[in-house]
Amino acid sequence: MLPDLTISKEQVNELMPKLTSDPRRAVEWFALYIFGSKKGYEQAKSQYSQLPQPLCAKSIPPDTLSYKCYDCGNNNDYHIFCEECFLNGEHTGHRYLRSLERAGCCDCGDINAVDAKGFCCAHRGFVGLDNIAKELNSEVRERLEYVVVGMFDQVFTLCERLNI
């Protein structure tokens, strides 16, 4: 049975301190509120896992093939692509360096390092988050919005009390 969609001030007031004192219960409450049930949670999770993720961030150990694209790099020198991301991206005709001597974490999806045109099809960067929100089940989205709006009020009150 789904909890009532509207979130009361009391519920938010109750949740906020629990986030630090009893995080387990707070997260349980939050998940139940957002997803309604274990089944709703599983559905949302599998839906989410099929969406393009914002970043790759895969670790590239030394002696592994990596790439740098001179046409896609933003601060041109410091970025690195894992092999998979580079090959799944659109770099036809670009000048690139293929190397076994670099190591790091793949920057695919990170707009600070790489131009969005160089992202592979699996990583769309945080600009894609809008689309992720659209893909979520509309009831889940609505509940998330209620929590955010409910917390606004609480955050303002706390800031005032703590003089932030």
Contact footprint for Zn ion (CB under 5 A): 56, 58, 69, 71-72, 82, 85, 91, 94, 106, 108, 118, 120, 123
CB of residue 122 to Zn ion, shortest distance in Å: 5
Is the CB of 34 or the CB of 72 nearer to Zn ion? 72
Is the CB of 7 or the CB of 66 nearer to Zn ion? 66
Contact 75, 36 (CB under 8 A): no
CB of residue 87 to Zn ion, shortest distance in Å: 10
Is the CB of 40 or the CB of 52 nearer to Zn ion? 52
CB of residue 49 to Zn ion, shortest distance in Å: 16
